[in-house]
Amino acid sequence: MARKIGIIVLLLSVGVWSLRADDTRKPAFQLEDNTFFDPTRKEEKKEVYSFKVEYRLEAGYVQHQQRADKISYPDMYLHGGRIGVTLTFVLPVHFSLQTGVLYTLVYGRTEQHWRSMDAPSVQTEFIDHRVLSHNLTIPVRMYYTIPLWRELSLFFYTGPQLHIGLAQTDYMRLNLSEGVKKWLEGEGIPTTPYDRLTDDVHRANIQWGVGGGLEWSRYRLQSGYDFGLNNLVRKQKTGQQRMSEWGWFVSVSYLF
């Protein structure tokens, strides 16, 4: 009898020990991260690049500066506006490439003084230059955008652009004596209204621009400065004659 009781006690001890060992063992399906089933946990959003093309209508104010050196043209500021359509190719990592076509109309006025041949004063005679310029602008710019808050972003850009001159008419008015007028005509300097792009100035004006601005939702406000790179003088009487056109602008564009 005592032997049977001992065997039963031994079996019961082994069973209890096995159950306690199973309780301390980690279930096979339990995860190391206990937050897997946490309903308050927020998943991190990863940006996925998707190529697309954006179309914008752009309009704004422009100011051009013609810088002349050792030629008969005076330095001049031209003011006006431009309007056109741009295409933006969205690239990875907040980069984008923009091009398009914009029409520009600017007007400038300045006086060019000449030494009088009939009076002691050296600045009593002048030509009143009134220039009206039409051209097309084709930009090629690389943009980098920095998201700030909600739909507000800051961006910067750089790149070349091409101005194609359509017409640049000088509606000049003369305040010259007959002697000065004949001398200017003998030097090949125009004394009647004419289109500068016909013989004197190149139509292609190559510039390099830098700028930036802000973008909110579908609207973009930007400004920039363009540096003239090429010499616009078509017929040089000396190798040192030079004229370039620089400028700046401010514009607003709308994303379709």
Strand partners, 170: 131, 194
Is residue 55 in a domain?
no
Q: Return d(Cα 171, Cα 154) in angstroms, integer.
A: 43
Domains in the chain: how many in total? 1
Is residue 17 in a domain?
no
Q: Of 167, 190, 165, 178, which Cα lies nearest the Cα of 112?
A: 190
DSSP letter string, 127-179: EEEEEEEEEEEEEEEEEEEEEEETTEEEEEEEEEEEEEEEEEEE--EEE--HH
CATH number, domain with residue 165 = 2.40.160
Is residue 157 in a domain?
yes
Tell me if the pTM is above 0.85. Answer: no
Segment 231-244 shows an average pLDDT of: 80
* pLDDT tens sequence across 178-237: 888 888 888 788 888 999 998 889 999 999 999 999 999 999 999 999 999 999 988 776
Other Cβ atoms less than 10 A from the Cβ of 236: the count is 12
3-state secondary structure of 84: strand
Q: Return d(Cα 58, Cα 136) in angstroms, integer.
A: 14
Q: Return d(Cα 3, Cα 53) in angstroms, integer.
A: 91
Is residue 111 in a domain?
yes
Mean pLDDT taken over the chain: 83
Task: Say if residues 66 and 233 touch (Cβ distance below 8 Å).
Answer: no
Judged by average pLDDT, the poorest of 83-92, 115-124, 132-141, 189-198 is 115-124
Burial label, 11 (beta-carbon count in 10 A; 0-12, 13-18, 19+)? exposed
Dihedral of alpha carbons 19, 23, 24, 26, sign: positive
Segment 95-112 shows an average pLDDT of: 95
Is residue 94 in a domain?
yes
Q: What pLDDT sits at residue 94?
A: 93
Q: Return d(Cα 128, Cα 172) in angstroms, integer.
A: 5
Q: Return d(Cα 208, Cα 67) in angstroms, integer.
A: 16
Is residue 140 in a domain?
yes
Segment 231-255 shows an average pLDDT of: 87
Range of the domain at 151: 62-255
Backbone φ and ψ of 157, nearest 5° = -145, 160
Tell me which DSSP letter residue 36 carries: G
Question: What amino acid occupies position 183?
Answer: W
What's the token pair of residue 143?
Answer: 């943009």
Is residue 139 in a domain?
yes
**Longest alpha-carbon distance in the chain:** 153
Tell me which DSSP letter residue 1 carries: -
Q: What pLDDT sits at residue 188?
A: 80
Is residue 173 in a domain?
yes
Q: What pLDDT sits at residue 125?
A: 83
Q: What pLDDT sits at residue 17?
A: 53
Other Cβ atoms less than 10 A from the Cβ of 81: the count is 15
Dihedral of alpha carbons 89, 95, 250, 206, sign: negative
